[in-house]
Structure 1
Amino acid sequence: MVQKFIDGFCQVLSVVIAACLAVMVVLVFGNVVMRYGFNSGITLSEELSRWLFVWMTFMGAVIALREHGHLGTDMLVGKLGPTGKKFCLALSYLAMLFICWLLFSGAYQQTVINLDSTSAVMEVSMAWIYAPGVVFAVLGGLILLTELFRLLTGQMRDEDLVMIQESEESPHGADKA
């Protein structure tokens, strides 16, 4: 049930990210045309684009965490047996949960501190620029807790214990043979 919720939520996030990107493109392109063609501009273009970029980055990080898309190395873990792989994976989940906690506490503090500050152009609370860190920490923590639960209850297959995905690109220098 939690897994289906996470999968559905990540699909919604993908649509939101695409919408944010479309808005950013329209704002920046429109601002360039207005500035060079008509000697004016869209006042909130730069600030809103920056805010959307921050939100897109954190939403994309949630999706990457769900899809195990972050960078990693499996040089050591790949040589371990199933028990060693499970131990290393559990340890890495615990470390990532701790980092999510650190991110949550710091972003939450910044969000609260900046509640009464407003942005220069849009005059919106600056808490909105720090809120994506809180959102990522909560969603990332939920994903990590779900994965840790799957690991500890034996619901994870042995081939899922190493979370590295091979690149679809050829290695550097492989074309020069």
Structure 2
Amino acid sequence: MSITRSPIQPCLWFDDTLEEAARFYTGIFPNSSIDHLSRYGDAGPGTPGSVMAGEFTLDGMTFRGINGGPAFPFTEAISFSIACRDQSEVDYYWDSLADGGEESVCGWLKDRFGLSWQIVPVRLYELVADPVPERAMAATRAMLGMRRIVVAELEAAADAAVGTAAPG
């Protein structure tokens, strides 16, 4: 059987929580599954039966993971961005991924495993690229003052910058 997938896949280094993380993430994202977990055997360097490595799919994207120990924790230098259709999707991913983690600013958070996520409504991209510079700057300033991105507040800031609602 041949599996078609991208030749480029993220590989995440966990201390010793790969299986827990894979279950957490696949419980949040649609079209997700734990595809394979390799466990140490009796002769392996790890505890027999404990997870060594594995693959899981989140909304169609395959991730590899290893339990490599505490030497290399996650940092914000690598993050995953979720483009959300609307505020309810922003709220869902924010609440789910921040549970047990740490909220940051400008739509960023760290989940309980220390992995960074950007929860971004598509509307933010539209507003910061608005052809009216005052609207774009106002939306950007509003975003910079937020933790979780709130679409209605972005739109209100953009509209207030020119004293009227956006055409459309």
The normalised TM-score by structure 2 is 0.23
Relative contact order: is structure 1 or structure 2 higher (C-alpha 8 Å, sep ≥ 6)?
Answer: 1
Q: Which has the higher helix share?
A: 1
**More strand per residue:** 2
